Structure 1
């Protein structure tokens, strides 16, 4: 007689709670209440006739039985996820949803996507532009381009590129008000982006031997890098550019770099994917293609 499998909901609750070591985080991940998680795990323990968790004052801990049970359950759920991914990818038109910053999408990714779609016509690419970190389990996102050090837990991170920081402006602005030396920036409006890159002007001016007060003069600050870059193209001032956002405009002649000095940023852009789906055909195709683009 075949043995009866325990409740699938109970197993999901156990795997999630054991991964997070928290009923609260498991409840958030599975979109149920903490009480529901607690009841599901309690019923699972009753079905199995063993205790899986120790409920301690300062949190949870797995019992010896729980530690012995977890690897097999985790492997089973990973196999279910991979089988589901393979099933969905077997359809002719496989959907690949990419999350990235608005500026990365508009200035770097979108100009390159037509070539990817030509190379992989069966992959239906969708781009989700957001400033928030995505939740891969909830958001329907397959992969994302993130900016940082590449140390996100639970995610495979493949380095794509780093940024160089340097001033850019329109050729017309340079013709009307020359920039022969960094000190001449005192006579221009400086364009910058808020957030993580707020200090870019100060860093570049310091490297150029200029006083920090130059960065405190006439300024325009934007929420998005693409807005600052467009303002520079329109001749509104000199933007502290990042290579990811301005290289295409430099090649097209819409912008020029008046100075040779470029600062190398310590952080970089990474393609990140959950480990359990990183090996799927569509994610592998995008990863290999983007890495080839970045190294070209």
Structure 2
């Protein structure tokens, strides 16, 4: 059998009146008229079938039933207020909690964070790494950066930039080609593969019509893209690079793109927020900054 609850707005008014024992003061605290307070108390008394207040010439006093009732319900309202303050404090103060995956953190976000901290020194950013998609009900984070098709339930999305991939290697590795050999010979040598991006090579080879050139290639796997690219830097073979993540290496010339045939895919990097999120300055500031930085990649 369902439990009975009184009308909550009259109950809230009663709690304030019981605490102050003054209709005028209660009306001022609630920002309503004294007659509105009286009507709410009357509605609660009608529901309960008892008199809660005794109206006297110089004010009001609680009846015995009213005092007993107030003694039980006032702590409940205090607990509700405390719980509400905690929720608001957790979402309005403290650090900005951002979750993403290791490769994005190491190769894209961390190099840019000094700029954010210089612009907004009052906002502390706590970055955590995880591969599974975020669940804001489960994970204690404010924002997440995810890679995928953007079809995630109960979230708001901002597109950061699409996924663009192509083979990369060190300049020295390219120079190891026999004189007169075409670059396609590299595809028959060692191909470096990231565990979480296992299909990247096959996708690129298929899109460029070079699958046959890599049929006999040895494949060496690594647990992350960061390690895969480090292996390419050290001349172990050729890897598939994510263009947005390797801008520093391209600018320095430590990694090159021997084929210059990038493949842009439907998947992309997204900034993800809860579908219902209370306004937070730090969230909006970080979001605006991140989108501006991502726009530089697209340009």
Answer yes or no: same fold by TM over 0.5.
Answer: yes
CA contact (8 A) 2:185 2:213 kept: no
Corresponding position of 1:65: none
Give the SS at the match of 1:250: helix
Q: Is the alpha carbon distance of 1:133 and 1:286 closer, same or farther for their aligned partners in structure 2, counting shifts above 3 Å?
A: same
Corresponding position of 1:256: 256
Corresponding position of 2:103: 103
Distance (Å, rounded) in 2 between the aligned partners of 1:278 and 1:243: 35
CA RMSD of aligned residues (A): 2.7
Structure 1 portions without partners, runs of 5+: 7-76
Corresponding position of 1:194: 195
CA contact (8 A) 1:158 1:272 kept: yes
Shift of 1:176: 2.5
Consecutive aligned runs of 4 or more in structure 1 exceeding 4 Å deviation: 3-6, 83-86, 88-91
CA contact (8 A) 1:169 1:239 kept: yes
CA contact (8 A) 2:192 2:232 kept: yes
CA contact (8 A) 1:167 1:259 kept: yes
Corresponding position of 1:185: 186
Q: How does 1:30-69 map to 2 (within 5 A)?
A: none
Give the SS at the match of 2:248: helix
Give the SS at the match of 1:210: coil
CA contact (8 A) 2:187 2:213 kept: no
Distance (Å, rounded) in 2 between the aligned partners of 1:259 and 1:85: 53
The alignment's TM-score, normalised by the length of structure 2, stands at: 0.66
Give the SS at the match of 2:152: coil
Corresponding position of 2:135: 135
Deviates more, 1:206-215 or 1:110-119: 206-215
Shift of 1:213: 6.2
CA contact (8 A) 1:190 1:219 kept: yes
Structure 2 portions without partners, runs of 5+: 1-5, 10-79
Q: Please say which structure displays the higher CA radius of gyration.
A: 2
Shift of 1:5: 4.4
Q: Is the alpha carbon distance of 1:278 and 1:89 closer, same or farther for their aligned partners in structure 2, counting shifts above 3 Å?
A: closer
